[in-house]
Structure 1
Amino acid sequence: MELKILSFNIHHGKGLDKRVNLGRIANIIKRSKADIIGLNEVDVSFGKRSQFLNQAAILAEQLEMEFVFGPVITRKKSDKTTGEYGNVLLSRIKMRSHENHLLYSHSYLAEPRGLLEVNFEISGKVISAFVTHLSINPFLQRKQIMDIETIVQRKSNVILMGDFNMSPVSRNHSYIGKILKDSSETESGYTYPANKPRKKLDYIFIQGDITVVESKVVTMDPVASDHLPLLTKIIIDE
């Protein structure tokens, strides 16, 4: 079975023109024809910057997809949740189960990080899709990758996507490369900054009975976010 996987840091819908516009994000996803989409920096009733909207639910409704939200930051007032921020997985394919894992973090150094897991049954196989957004601090990043390793090594078929905040020539990329295959390792794949991309920060890694057909950066609307999305076409091996 052939599938398209999209990884996109949407910067809570705020584009390079300083405008928050979820319609642009939805249009990019729709035109990509992706089947499974991992999103980073999504607000759910988080604050004024995104008009307290549930961005995950809005995008899912506009795209007519199932979704799961994995919060990493939760705002509370008098023991009541007032807003959340984190990762999202959208899918055209029915989800079997899901779990949100919190990764190693240090509250005094950086914001919390998480790993959103969604499991599917595709072509008779269990496919585990993960979405993450790692720290910019190399030490914390390594610790978070080690947490991810512990989780994904229990899975047979893995798709791991997100904003890893690392260079493809970094030690941390080499470390994760021992566990999973970089789907775009033969291309530059620059995704940041969106208007003049010169860094590869966003990745889709795979493992198991999955073959990569092609991987490319989507450049149709470079103003919609500060990152460009990465699109990878895969085949689930029979």
Structure 2
Amino acid sequence: MRRRTPLLLVMIILTAIGAAQSSAAQPSASPLPPDVPLRVLDYNVHTGIGADGKLDLARTAAAIAEQRPDVAVLQEVDVHWSERSQFRDQARELADALGMRLFFAPIYDLPPATPGAPRRQFGIAMLSAFPVVHARNHWITRLSTVEPNPVPKPAPGFPEIVVAARGALVHVYGTHLDYRPDPAVRVTQVEEMLRIMGEDRPHARRLLLGDFNAGPDAAELRPLWTRLRDGWTAAGNTGPGFTYPATDPTARIDYVTVSPGMHVGAVTVPDTLASDHRPVSAELAVRRGP
């Protein structure tokens, strides 16, 4: 075997030289396109309970699958939470049904309902068809919905994943902002999200998807629009793009937002009743590179 090794090396070298000469004599192959197509979806899934009030997680999965997302950010996901979702791990079930990678970011993480059972969690599921090279559940100010007499305080539930998408590294953030009419907590949440996203490396490709619980003209969202673009309007849509309630929507509170320089193609609000919200689906193009 040792006597064959030099011959094998010579053959490899000659083959490489021949290939180089052949390519020099012929037009060079087309380089990879500089932009990577990326389909993303934001969806408040309402713990799998549709507009008809019925729990049907298979219906939720089908509504997501119909949009063929590369990345999906899902709000209001139960993991062993309560009877309303049969104590199921909805995050894992949806990821498995869709064949996607999962990072689950609990907003609430409570002791089990019975001794020895899994902990009860509720939060945001980040799903990706691409490898996830980094994931973190950041903390921002929240006003609890499970504590008596809550006061605003830091809590988890602002997840970030970095996906390696065909040669592009993309930071994807998911959020679910406070729902109360008083915007004070949302004002603080927006400030904190921008600070956290600002810690990324310069010129990072960023997406922020979520249920903002505020319309695009709300004063508390104005700081966002200095750093991010609203995907709905960036796509050239002129309609209202209402997302809530699903049956007869009158408000646009669910968003796909992108960093400057990212190409935005079609952005749609699919008509589905699998939740009390409608999803937002976006076709993007992301520059290759770190």
Q: What TM-score do you get using the length of structure 2 for normalisation?
A: 0.77
Check conservation: 2:128, 2:163, Cα contact below 8 A. no
The structure whose Rg is larger is 2
Match status 1:88 vs 2:125? yes
Q: CA deviation at 1:80?
A: 8.1
Cα distance in 1, alignment partners of residues 283 and 132 from structure 2: 19
Identity between Structure 1 and Structure 2 (%): 28
What displacement does 1:33 show?
A: 0.9
In structure 2, distance between residues paired with 1:106 and 1:83? 19
Amino acid across the alignment from 2:281: L
Give the superposition deviation at 1:237. Answer: 2.4
Partner residue in 2 for 1:143:
188
How far is the alpha carbon of 1:172 from its aligned partner?
Answer: 1.7
1:47 and 1:27 mapped to 2: Cα distance?
A: 23
| Aligned residue among 220, 232, 240 for 1:172 | 220
Q: Could you say which structure has the higher strand fraction? A: 1
> Helix, strand or coil for the counterpart of 2:55?
coil
**2:184 corresponds to which letter in structure 1?**
F
Q: Which residue of 2 aligns with 1:154?
A: 199
Indicate the residue corresponding to 1:234 in structure 2: 284
Which is worse superposed, 70-79 or 6-15? 70-79
Asked if the contact 2:229–2:260 (Cα under 8 Å) also holds between the matched residues in 1, the reply is: no
1:55 partnered with 2:90: yes
What's 1:132 paired with?
Answer: 175
- After superposition, the C-alpha distances for 1:55-96 in whole angstroms (9 at most, x for unaligned) are 000011111111110000111158986210000111111111
Output the CA distance in 1 between the equivalents of 2:79 and 2:196.
26
2:136 corresponds to: 99
* Aligned counterpart, 2:160: 117
Is there any run of 5+ residues in structure 2 with no aligned partner, and where?
Answer: 1-35, 145-149
- Residue 266 of structure 2 is matched in structure 1 by 214
Map 1:34-73 onto structure 2 (within 5 A).
34-73=69-108
- Say whether the 8 Å CA contact 1:10–1:42 is kept in structure 2: yes
Which residue number corresponds to residue 163 of structure 1? 211
* AA aligned opposite 2:196: I
Q: Distance between the aligned counterparts of 1:57 and 1:102, measured in 2?
A: 22
Asked if 1:205 corresponds to 2:205, the answer is no
For residues 177-225 of structure 1, give each alpha carbon's deviation from its aligned partner in whole angstroms, at most 9, with x where no partner exists: 1111111124421000000011001011111452101211011x22x11
- Deviations for 1:8-63, whole angstroms, at most 9, x for unmatched residues? 00000011211110111110111111110000000000011000000000011111
Q: Which runs of 4+ in 1 moved over 4 A?
A: 77-81, 109-113
Indicate which of 65, 68, 74 corresponds to 2:109: 74
TM-score calculated relative to the size of structure 1:
0.93
For residues 5-20 of structure 1, what are the structure 2 equivalents within 5 Å? 5-20=40-55
Structure 1 unaligned blocks of 5 or more: none
Corresponding residue of 1:192: 244
Structure 1 counterpart SS, 2:222: helix
Q: Does the 8 Å CA contact 1:9/1:41 hold for their aligned counterparts?
A: yes
Indicate yes or no: 2:230 matched with 1:182.
yes
Letter of the 2:242 counterpart = Y
What SS class does the counterpart of residue 96 from structure 1 fall into? Answer: strand
